[in-house]
């Protein structure tokens, strides 16, 4: 079945460092790909998405490119801030029985130090 694998955390960076969180997927269909962010005590917020190969999703300085050849959707940010400290989830959504079903990775916790 479909699955998402993302790098284990926690990831600890200093402010203004470059961030990469790796994500790879397996899917039988042609899924849409997402990154969600979860701040402490809150629900998930959609960070960015891509719906087809070579699409680049971007938001708030974060970017990820849908790479079909490598089945990857790595999250990057050029300069992280303390406020980016959160848990990041890679996810795919594929057409299943009667509608879309979202599969999440295990999450990667990011700590950014001032």
Binding site for other proteins (CB under 8 A): 31-32, 34, 36, 42-46, 49, 51, 89, 93-107
Q: Whose Cβ is closer to other proteins: residue 107's or residue 112's? A: 107
Q: Whose Cβ is closer to other proteins: residue 17's or residue 55's? A: 55
For residues 47 and 57, give the distance between their C-alpha atoms in angstroms, rounded to a whole number. Answer: 9
- Length, in residues, of the chain: 114
Give yes or no for a cis peptide into 10 (omega within 30° of 0).
yes
For residues 85 and 36, give the distance between their C-alpha atoms in angstroms, rounded to a whole number. Answer: 13
How would DSSP label each residue in 102-114?
Answer: EEE---EEEEEE-
3-class state of residue 83 by DSSP: helix
Q: Whose Cβ is closer to other proteins: residue 58's or residue 96's? A: 96
**Token couple for 101:** 């079903």
CB of 71 to other proteins, least distance (A): 17
Q: Whose Cβ is closer to other proteins: residue 18's or residue 56's? A: 56
């Amino acid at each position: 079945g479909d699955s998402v694998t993302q790098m284990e955390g926690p990831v600890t960076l200093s402010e203004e460092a470059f961030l990469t969180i790796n994500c790879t997927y397996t899917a039988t269909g042609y899924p849409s790909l997402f990154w969600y962010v979860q701040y402490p005590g809150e629900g998930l917020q959609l960070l960015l998405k891509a719906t087809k190969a070579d699409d680049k999703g971007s938001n708030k300085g974060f970017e990820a490119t849908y790479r079909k050849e490598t089945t990857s959707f790595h999250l990057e940010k050029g300069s992280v801030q303390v406020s980016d400290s959160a848990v990041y989830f890679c996810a795919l959504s594929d057409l299943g029985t009667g509608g879309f079903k979202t599969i999440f990775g295990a999450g990667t916790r990011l700590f950014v130090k001032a």
